[in-house]
Amino acid sequence: QVQLVESGGGLVQPGGSLRLSCAASIRFFSVYGMGWYRQAPGKQRELVSSITRGGSTNYVDSVQGRFTISRDNAKNTLYLQMNSLKPEDTAVYYCNTNPNLFSWGQGTQVTVSS
């Protein structure tokens, strides 16, 4: 059974940084495109960043230049480095394949507030 376990969230002031991690018990993790998604209160879940199995990355405009997605296939782990955080980045962050194929994990809460 696939498990996606996100961690690394927290409360941070505007302009701060966080690094999210996602431990994925996905067989053949390296062949999947992966993504970080987020869901803010009252909003739909959105894909904010993705990385192909070849390492090509993509970002939604609102995080371009501030977030960096990466993966360690040897550890079946996905990362999201988030810099220059803004209050509008506040959300629960999830990882999944892209497109999402598996059940969602519990997510990790990111709150950006002074």
Instruction: Tell me the per-residue pLDDT of 46-89, one tens digit each, with 9 for 90 and over.
Output: 999 999 999 999 999 999 999 999 999 999 999 999 999 999 99
pLDDT, one tens digit per residue, over 88-102 is: 999 999 999 999 999
- Give the pLDDT of residue 35: 98
For residue 99, is the peptide bond before it cis, meaning its omega torsion is within 30 degrees of 0?
Answer: yes
Neighbours of 65 (CB within 10 A): 9
What is the Cα–Cα distance from 24 to 102, expressed in whole angstroms?
A: 10
- Give the pLDDT of residue 6: 98
Q: Tokens 């995080």 map to which residue? A: 63
Q: Is the dihedral of CA 6, 55, 90, 19 positive or negative?
A: positive
What is the Cα–Cα distance from 79 to 50, expressed in whole angstroms?
A: 11
- Give the pLDDT of residue 1: 84
Round the average pLDDT of the chain to a whole number and report it. Answer: 97
- Give the pLDDT of residue 50: 98
Q: What percent of the chain has pLDDT over 70?
A: 100
